[in-house]
Structure 1
Amino acid sequence: MPIIRVSLLEGWTMEQKAQVTQEMTEALVSVLGEVSRPYIYVVVDEMQAGAVAFAGNVITDEMNREALATSARERQKAVNAQRAEDAYAALEGGDREVIAQYWTEDVSWSVPGNHPLAGVKKGVGELLAYRRARAELTGGTFRTERGRALVDGTTVVIRGREMAVRGPGRVLEVDTLHTLVWSEGRIASGSEAFAGAAAAANDSFWN
């Protein structure tokens, strides 16, 4: 039964500590295999400022607060699976101020295919208009089930399945791949991709 112990100075949120335990678990699973997951324990110990020192210097409350503030600023720029999911949620919410936290104003979004919605959408306005058009054409039935994001530096790849109904007998159910390219903590460009028969089925549905 593997046990991982992580010591943190106080001040971390429950969400942050949960993320630490998840990432530590995934790291060990990558070494021991998926069979080990149910038996991995992660223990987070919280320490008070003043009880820890490095190079003979005691960490003070002020130093800890400054470190937490710096960490918070860096997390806002971090490219990870949760931030990618939050970026999609921001689009779905439609609040431009929230969207601006995750998407650059001049973001470009490439939609492949040979149908009226295909092409490169330039800027948040066109991206939102494209998403509204999908919803309107399908009577609000369009939805995407996204899998776990794969992060490689500033690039995030997400496999998903798009589903919708458009009039009698017209049903969409295709696998898709989204690629997100980030810059300074926000998505600067993105693209959709369909392979094989999915590309033809997608074109047929939107034409």
Structure 2
Amino acid sequence: MPIIRVSLLEGWTMEQKAQVARELTEGLVSVLGEVSRPFIYVVVDEMQAGAVAFAGNVITDEMNQEALALSARQRRTVVDAQRTEEAYAALAGGDPEEIARYWADDVTWSVPGTHPLAGVRTGVAELRAYHQERDRITGGTFGSERGRALVDGETVVVRSRDTAIRADDGRTLAVEALHTLQWRDGRISAGSEAYGGTDQAAYDAFWN
């Protein structure tokens, strides 16, 4: 039964500690195999400032708060699966401040195909308008079930299963899509959709 133990100075949120546990678990699974997952334990200890020293220098509460603030600033620009999902949620939520945290003002989004919604959108307003038109045509039924994002530096690929029902004639959609996202300075600067095999033809036919 593998046991991973990590000690952190106090001040980290429950979600951050949970993420530490998840990432450490995934790292060990990548070495030992999926069969090990149910038996992996992760223990996250919290240490108080003043109880830890390096080379005889005690870590003070002020030093710890500075470290937490620096970490928070860095997390706001990190590219990972969690931040990618947060970006999708912000765009769907529609709050301008939240959107601005994740999406560049001049973001471009490419939609392939020969249907009326195909083309390149430039800027958050056009991207939002594209989503709103999609929702209008489908009566709000358009949905995407996304898999875990695959991250390679500032490039992220997300697999998505898109489903919808047209509000006018009841036609249904069920296709597999790949989203490729390019991040720049902590925000998404470009994105594109892609549909393989017969899914592109099905996507075209649905919107036409």
Common fold: TM-score over 0.5: yes
Map of 1:127 onto structure 2: 127
What do residues 34-92 of structure 1 show as CA deviations (whole Å, max 9, x unaligned)?
Answer: 11111000001111112111232211111111000000000011111111111111111
Map of 2:90 onto structure 1: 90
Map of 2:187 onto structure 1: 186
State the Cα distance separating 1:106 from its structure 2 match. 0.5
Provide the TM-score with structure 2 as the length reference.
Answer: 0.97
Map of 2:157 onto structure 1: 157
- For 1:38 and 1:180, how far apart are their aligned partners in 2? 33
Q: Structure 1 residue runs of 4+, over 6 Å off?
A: none
Map of 1:176 onto structure 2: 177
State the Cα distance separating 1:170 from its structure 2 match. 1.5
Map of 1:146 onto structure 2: 146
Give the count of matched residue pairs.
207
What do residues 17-42 of structure 1 show as CA deviations (whole Å, max 9, x unaligned)?
Answer: 00100000000011111111110000
State the Cα distance separating 1:169 from its structure 2 match. 5.0
- Please give the residue correspondences for 1:86-125 in structure 2 after superposition, counting only pairs within 5 Å: 86-125=86-125
Amino acid paired to 2:202: A
Map of 1:67 onto structure 2: 67
User: Secondary structure at the residue paired with 1:161?
Assistant: strand
What do residues 83-141 of structure 1 show as CA deviations (whole Å, max 9, x unaligned)?
Answer: 11111111111111110011011100010111110011000000000000100011111
What do residues 121-166 of structure 1 show as CA deviations (whole Å, max 9, x unaligned)?
Answer: 0000000000001000111111111011111111111101000111
State the Cα distance separating 1:171 from its structure 2 match. 1.0
User: Secondary structure at the residue paired with 2:86?
Assistant: helix
Identity %: 72
User: Secondary structure at the residue paired with 1:101?
Assistant: helix
5+ residue gaps, structure 2, are none
Amino acid paired to 1:164: A
Map of 1:52 onto structure 2: 52
Provide the TM-score with structure 1 as the length reference.
Answer: 0.98
5+ residue gaps, structure 1, are none
User: Secondary structure at the residue paired with 1:127?
Assistant: helix
